[in-house]
Amino acid sequence: MRKLFVSFLCLVMFSCLKSDIVQYGSKNTDPATFASGQQLPVATRSYTNFCNPNGWGRKGCEFLAKYDGTFWADTENYYSDFSDIKFINNVYFVSFFNIDNDVSYCKGWKTGENTYDGIKWDIKITKDGWDILWFDYDYYGTSQEIEYSITYKYEVIDSLLHFSSTEGQEFIFHPSDKNYSRDFIDTGEIIELDGCTFNY
């Protein structure tokens, strides 16, 4: 019985030698295509789906994880035409601070559907990288149809935040050292809207 087992084992080993393996010159490198040419329907993979600060995808947001809690501003003008910006890796992923001498506003945006006072808009992150964040802003107003869409682009280059939009806006923000605690902003009144994130 033992000789039979050893003989069987030797037979199996010799049948698997490299010389017996046949390789073909044209191999199929596309896993969605069979050798016969038949193709499987495969949707292109979008890596931005993993970044969703408004849900479980928060850990997948490279830009928001890196710049979480950072403030950016027009350092040349305390009362700038452009809002100061704070990025947050949370439900509301960006806060805007419109600081003015008399009345200042603070608001935030989240991904997905946003509504305020009957006005509706929708935000979807389209590109998320270590130093780049793009998102689409679809404005509905009071209707059910999109009235207009804007793509906002933020990119950090040489420690400066470059902003542009499909409306032709462009601006460069600097890291801000202003005190964004509610009690320290130099303004007469602050109106806080949804998503406003002051430092405390």
Task: Write out pLDDT tens, residues 99-126.
Answer: 776 777 778 888 899 888 889 999 999 9
Three-class secondary structure of residue 64 per DSSP: helix
- Range ranked top by mean pLDDT from 29-33, 93-97, 186-190: 93-97
Query: Which residues neighbour 133 within 8 Å (Cβ) at sequence distance 6 or greater?
Result: 63, 64, 87, 125, 127, 153, 154, 155
pLDDT band at 178 (very low <50, low <70, confident <90, very high): confident
How far is residue 179's CA from residue 160's CA, in Å, rounded to a whole number? 19
Cα(137)–Cα(152) distance, integer angstroms: 7
Contacts 24+ apart (CB under 8 A), 116-121: 116/193, 116/194, 118/142
| Confidence at residue 91, expressed as pLDDT on a 0 to 100 scale | 84
**Residue 72: both structure tokens together:** 């950016």
pLDDT at 199: 60
Mean per-residue pLDDT, 9-38: 54
The answer to whether the beta carbons of residues 87 and 110 sit under 8 Å apart is no
Q: Residue 48's Cα: distance from chain center in Å?
A: 6
CATH fold group of domain 63-192: Lipocalin (2.40.128)
Structure tokens at 127: 């590109």
CA distance 154 to 151: 10
pLDDT of residue 100: 73
